[in-house]
């Protein structure tokens, strides 16, 4: 599947314009909760984005005024014949691996409720911008289950073990300002400024050389699981790859000439 400039699905809206891909979770009447239909739609779109050389940066947002995503669709999940089978079906497609495997930077625009699968989806993004009304939580333990989309792994890696355990074990929610202080989000903006702030950030990234941007993301993401020596070697290899690109060399020379230090 190769989405056009704008493609509508049953649970999401996909748009692409000037190197920026926009994925909107589109179930506002039920707070954009994640269900198997959304899983299938995201699977198609994320696969297409990964293979699209025109996409330089991705924005993930939620439709409506009340929520980015308020978790999983419990009416669908809990009415399945068996909880074990339901979990197997729910995670049959590795959407979370697709999020984490995107070579392009992924920006989350977060507002309202960011709960359960919603916070797990956000944690798969590279940059998170939150509106002042955003609230974050993982209520799974109160339902007799645990997160199964990476929350037990991505949350402590982002905000630390102690804060993550408190959220996971007590269903303690964070507001936007606390999330900023904890490192869960990069920036907090007024609600009306969320979309323009995210669009401006995406535009800035899209204006940069895509090979350099992808290489920088890869160096940080892959290097975080390596020793320092291994990470430095990865950086050297990626830098060599980037510098072997003729367009990159041209841009560097123009930059140096602008500073009066180049030929």
Tens digit of each residue's pLDDT (9 = 90 or more) over 112-123: 999 999 999 999
The answer to the question of residue 126 being in a domain is: yes
Catalytic residue among 140, 233, 235, 247: 140
Query: What gap in Å lies between CA 107 and CA 202, rounded to an integer?
Result: 8
Are residues 18 and 118 located together in one domain of the fold? yes
Are residues 125 and 165 located together in one domain of the fold? yes
Asked if pLDDT for residue 261 goes beyond 50, the answer is no
- Give me the CATH number covering residue 48: 3.90.226.10
Are residues 59 and 118 located together in one domain of the fold? yes
Are residues 201 and 116 located together in one domain of the fold? yes
Three-state DSSP class for 11?
coil
Q: 6 forms bridges with which residues in the sheet?
A: 15
* Structural domain that includes position 231: 210-259
The answer to the question of residue 1 being in a domain is: no
Are residues 236 and 186 located together in one domain of the fold? no
Boundary residue ending a domain (167, 191, 206): 206
Are residues 147 and 232 located together in one domain of the fold? no
Query: What DSSP assignment string belongs to 119-130?
Result: HHHHHTSSEEEE
Boundary residue ending a domain (206, 226, 250): 206
Tens digit of each residue's pLDDT (9 = 90 or more) over 81-110: 555 555 555 555 688 889 999 999 999 999
What sign does the dihedral 71-28-50-193 (CA atoms) show?
A: negative
CA atoms within 13 A on the CB side of 230: 8
Structurally, the chain folds into a number of domains equal to 2
Tens digit of each residue's pLDDT (9 = 90 or more) over 148-204: 788 888 999 999 999 999 999 999 999 999 999 999 999 999 999 999 999 999 999
Catalytic residue among 15, 76, 120, 132: 120
Are residues 218 and 106 located together in one domain of the fold? no
Q: Which residue has the higher pLDDT, 27 or 246?
A: 27
Active site annotation includes 120: yes
The answer to the question of residue 29 being in a domain is: yes
Matching residue, tokens 């430095």:
232
Are residues 104 and 202 located together in one domain of the fold? yes
The answer to the question of residue 20 being in a domain is: yes
């Amino acid at each position: 599947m190769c989405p056009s400039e704008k493609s509508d699905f049953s649970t999401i809206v996909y748009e692409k314009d000037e190197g920026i891909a926009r994925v909107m979770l589109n179930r506002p009447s039920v707070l954009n909760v994640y269900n198997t239909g959304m899983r299938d739609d995201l699977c198609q779109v994320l696969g297409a984005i990964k293979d699209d050389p025109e996409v330089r940066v991705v924005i993930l947002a939620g439709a409506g005024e009340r929520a980015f995503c308020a978790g999983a669709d419990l009416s669908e999940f809990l009415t399945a014949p068996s909880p074990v089978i339901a979990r197997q079906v729910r995670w049959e497609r590795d959407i979370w691996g697709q999020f984490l495997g995107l070579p392009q930077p992924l920006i989350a625009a977060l507002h309202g409720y960011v709960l359960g699968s919603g916070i797990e989806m956000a944690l798969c993004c590279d940059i998170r911008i939150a509106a002042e009304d955003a609230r974050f939580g993982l209520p799974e333990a109160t339902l007799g289950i645990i997160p199964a989309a990476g929350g037990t792994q991505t949350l402590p890696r982002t905000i630390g073990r102690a804060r993550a355990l408190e959220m996971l074990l007590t269903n303690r929610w964070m507001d936007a300002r606390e999330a900023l202080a904890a490192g869960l989000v990069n920036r907090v903006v007024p609600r009306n400024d969320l979309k323009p702030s995210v669009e401006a950030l995406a535009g800035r990234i899209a204006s940069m050389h895509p090979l350099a941007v992808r290489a920088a993301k890869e160096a940080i993401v892959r290097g975080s699981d390596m020793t320092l020596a291994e990470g430095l070697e990865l950086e050297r290899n990626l830098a060599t790859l980037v510098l072997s690109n003729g367009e990159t060399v041209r841009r560097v020379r123009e930059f140096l000439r602008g500073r009066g230090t180049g030929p």
